[in-house]
Structure 1
Amino acid sequence: MNDRLAHRFLGTVLPALLVVGALGGGFAFVRATVDGADRSAPTRVWAEHRTKPAKDPAGPVGRGRADTELTRKLLPVPPGYVLGPDIGVYGNDVELTAARSTEMMKATADGYDAPAAVRRQVDKEIDLMGMEGVALRSYTFPGNALTVDVSLIEVKDADAARRWYEDGSRRSDGESEGPVIEGRKNSSCSVQTEESDGDGTPGIGTMTCLAYEGDLIVIVVAQGMPLNRSTVAELVKDQLDRIASPGENA
């Protein structure tokens, strides 16, 4: 029974372990952007500003680090975007070692209220994942209330990645089904929107997309006010294409 409870707990918590800090940072950024904006100005559509990237976009400064095998698989900062706010305490463009990744996941899980027996099983499940490393990067579209945080989690094998994805892709209360990522069956997205303040300002929308490619688990969390779901879905597809062909797609 403890194993089953731990498995359910892990499936709920794991998607949040790497992005729980990002949600706070993203929320603050989005709120500050909207509060400081000219409400009389027309809203720009983010997708209209996207342009075709260069053949190998990993090189230019400001597009993100690409000095390791894992960071080369992160989507370079797309045209029109800049590196975004820090993801928790880890910065906005960083790779963590296997040991630090495991330690981070266990420490974050400690913050959830669960019986000691379940917590021990959760630690065991995290160890069984065989964390090899984590790469994190955030993006912001200047002038618009949009942040996107990407986490690539490398685990010991594809079976571990698939099992995590199947557990973690279950929607929680308050979430609705998000857009489908074209051509990517091993992916799913959910959307949650906060209520408006009552002054006509739209609530902050959060879109979380999960996917796996081989031994890589992909988490993309975007926040916007309002949230442009199609733009985020396109970024997720670009990230998955990047994994398939590092250095060729953005």
Structure 2
Amino acid sequence: MSDAGMSGEVGEESAGNPGESPIPSVKRRALRAGAAVAAAVLLGVGIGVGIIKSQYRQTSATPAAHTPAAAPSPGAARPSYGAQSDGTHFGAMRDLLLPVPTGFALGPDDGVYGDDTELTKDQIDGYLDDRVAELPKDQRDKVKAALQAQGHQAAGVRSYRSSDGALVATVWLDRFDKQAVEAANAFDAAMGSDSGLFRQGPAVPGHQQAACFLPPLRPSNPIDELDCTAGVGDMLVTMHVEGVAPLPKSEAVSIFRQQLERLAVPGATA
């Protein structure tokens, strides 16, 4: 999961000057979309792999109905971005990211990665370092090497702030080997539902493979959060949302749903 435990920091920062937006600039580390892969590496062939296999069977057993992306007609010009029928995506990450929807503007920077960025090769190396930074020192190189072995190819981030300033959603796309995406998404979903550390979040209509979770309820905190994860072919999609409690979950889920539909694989049924 992403850094759901940051709400204490947010609550402290949000007590700013009257009239300011209750949602602060994002100062936390960037969403570590591959953290589930790292956790799976550390758990090895034990219970972690069992959770992954069990959860993936559950999420993939019953395909969800949704409108797949239309395959290009014969002779049509190839689009600049999209998905192949085998689930691999092509095009710039900034094109694959959801454009800013009506009623939103670009949001705050997510750490050093900005609010509308396709990471360079040099940034990706630092990004992997960032994702393993909280691990014990003797594990960091091992896990980073494992992440690199999973075929991490590209990453991109875009943040969205609602026009009233009450909600900020940050979406990360990470392109991995397809099997690694499946494992990471299944592990994230299992940790969110089975660990007891999170509240179950809303469903994403038409996307049964997606999972959303909320941190433990803290009634005195004016800020609530939501994390969502999904795998689409070779693309791992994660979203972190912060908003004034009660969180407008339908708006957040709508952004995530639109992002998944932008990545939809032609002919896919789930």
Q: TM-score, normalised by structure 1?
A: 0.67
Distance 1:207 1:191 in 2: 5
Q: How far did 1:119 drift?
A: 2.6
Distance 1:34 1:144 in 2: 15
Give structure 1 stretches of 5+ with no counterpart: 1-11, 39-67
For residues 24-51 of structure 1, the C-alpha deviation after alignment (integer angstroms, 9 at most, x for no partner) is: 8x9489936994269xxxxxxxxxxxxx
User: Is 2:262 aligned against 1:242?
Assistant: yes
Q: Which residue of 1 aligns with 2:45?
A: none
Give structure 2 stretches of 5+ with no counterpart: 22-90
Q: How far did 1:244 drift?
A: 2.1
Q: How many residues align?
A: 192
User: Is 2:232 aligned against 1:210?
Assistant: no
Q: How far did 1:187 drift?
A: 1.1
Contact 1:162–1:212 (CA under 8 A) maintained in structure 2: yes
Structure 1 residues 245, 130: CA separation in 2 closer, same or farther (over 3 Å shift)? closer
Mean CA deviation greater in 118-127 or 89-98: 118-127
Contact 2:233–2:265 (CA under 8 A) maintained in structure 1: no
Distance 1:84 1:211 in 2: 22
Contact 1:177–1:191 (CA under 8 A) maintained in structure 2: yes
For residues 118-138 of structure 1, the C-alpha deviation after alignment (integer angstroms, 9 at most, x for no partner) is: 333312221122111111000
Structure 1 residues 28, 239: CA separation in 2 closer, same or farther (over 3 Å shift)? farther
Distance 2:135 2:10 in 1: 24
Q: Which residue of 2 aligns with 1:142?
A: 163
Q: How far did 1:207 drift?
A: 0.4
- 2:136 alignment partner, one of 114, 121, 124: 114
3-state DSSP of counterpart to 2:181? helix
- 2:181 alignment partner, one of 158, 161, 166: 161
For residues 81-122 of structure 1, the C-alpha deviation after alignment (integer angstroms, 9 at most, x for no partner) is: 100000111111000034522431223412x14251x33331
Q: Which residue of 2 aligns with 1:31?
A: 14
Report the AA paired with residue 241 of structure 1: E
Distance 1:79 1:152 in 2: 21
Contact 1:83–1:140 (CA under 8 A) maintained in structure 2: yes
Q: Which residue of 2 aligns with 1:152?
A: 173
Structure 1 residues 71, 245: CA separation in 2 closer, same or farther (over 3 Å shift)? farther
3-state DSSP of counterpart to 2:141? helix
**Residues 38-57 of structure 1 mapped to structure 2, 5 A cutoff:** none
Q: Which residue of 2 aligns with 1:219?
A: 238
Greater RCO, 1 or 2 (C-alpha within 8 Å, sep 6+): 2
**Residues 177-216 of structure 1 mapped to structure 2, 5 A cutoff:** 177-192=200-215, 195-197=218-220, 203-216=222-235
User: Is 2:252 aligned against 1:229?
Assistant: no
Contact 1:98–1:134 (CA under 8 A) maintained in structure 2: no
3-state DSSP of counterpart to 2:157? strand
Q: Which residue of 2 aligns with 1:50?
A: none
For residues 173-209 of structure 1, the C-alpha deviation after alignment (integer angstroms, 9 at most, x for no partner) is: 5411101111112210101256344xxxx63111000
Mean CA deviation greater in 229-238 or 145-154: 229-238
Distance 2:17 2:207 in 1: 33
Runs of 4+ in 1 over 4 A off after TM superposition: 32-35
For residues 1-37 of structure 1, the C-alpha deviation after alignment (integer angstroms, 9 at most, x for no partner) is: xxxxxxxxxxx6xx44xx99xx68x948993699426
Report the AA paired with residue 88 of structure 1: G
For residues 48-85 of structure 1, the C-alpha deviation after alignment (integer angstroms, 9 at most, x for no partner) is: xxxxxxxxxxxxxxxxxxxx532111111001110000
% same residue: 27
